């Protein structure tokens, strides 16, 4: 993320400008993002749908694709629900581990080890922590 690079980076040129950016953006970065209730509900809806598909999937390729999406969407929901910045690619599990190493490990272990039922159960636990499943009657 650009803001993090500005805050944590070392100025090669323009040290004064760099310091000004740091002072301007540090408070907003440290405060973390906010997630609106409608956005959180939509994210829970997406996870609910993916989780149902994952539990029903029998083809290995489908399971792997759905598992990757579930991990990504669930990790993002955990972070955003706790005013933490998300990341892309390798930075998403790093951000989650920085926030809560135990939850990060609990989410990743069954995924990495191919324990599909345990992974689905972990997603359900995190979904419940965020407010529960969203299905019938949901409108965006």
Structural domain includes residue 138: no
Do residues 89 and 119 share a domain?
yes
Do residues 8 and 59 share a domain?
no
Contact 29, 4 (CB under 8 A): yes
Do residues 66 and 103 share a domain?
yes
Do residues 61 and 17 share a domain?
no
This prediction has a pTM of 0.85
Do residues 53 and 84 share a domain?
yes
- Per-residue DSSP letters for 11-30? -SS-HHHHHHHHHHHHHHHH
What average pLDDT does range 24-43 have in this prediction?
A: 88
pLDDT of residue 95: 94
Separation CA 83–CA 85 (nearest Å): 7
Separation CA 78–CA 88 (nearest Å): 14
Structural domain includes residue 61: yes
Do residues 9 and 52 share a domain?
no
Do residues 46 and 104 share a domain?
yes
pLDDT of residue 1: 58
Residues 6 or more apart from 130 whose CB is under 8 A from it?
40, 43, 44, 77, 78, 81
Do residues 67 and 82 share a domain?
yes
Residues 6 or more apart from 7 whose CB is under 8 A from it?
21, 22, 25, 26, 29
Do residues 94 and 124 share a domain?
yes
Whether 138 shows a pLDDT value over 70: the answer reads no
Per-residue pLDDT tens digits for 77-121? 999 999 999 988 999 999 999 999 999 999 999 999 999 999 999
Separation CA 70–CA 111 (nearest Å): 10
Residue 88 structural domain: 37-129
Confidence class for position 15, pLDDT limits 50, 70, 90: confident
Do residues 51 and 86 share a domain?
yes
Do residues 27 and 48 share a domain?
no
Do residues 21 and 62 share a domain?
no
Structural domain includes residue 123: yes
């Amino acid at each position: 993320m650009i803001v993090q690079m500005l805050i944590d980076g070392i100025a090669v040129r323009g040290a004064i400008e760099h310091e000004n950016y740091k002072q301007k953006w540090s408070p907003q970065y440290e405060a973390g993002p906010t997630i609106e209730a409608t956005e959180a509900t939509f994210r829970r809806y997406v996870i609910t749908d993916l989780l149902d598909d994952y539990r029903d999937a029998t083809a290995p390729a489908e399971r792997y694709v759905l598992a990757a999406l579930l991990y990504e969407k669930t990790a993002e929901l955990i972070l955003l629900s706790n005013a933490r910045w998300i990341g892309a690619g390798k930075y998403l599990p790093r951000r989650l581990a920085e926030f809560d190493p135990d939850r990060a490990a609990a989410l990743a272990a069954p995924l990495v080890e191919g324990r599909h039922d345990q992974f689905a159960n972990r997603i359900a636990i995190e979904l419940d922590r965020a407010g529960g499943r969203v299905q019938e009657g949901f409108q965006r």
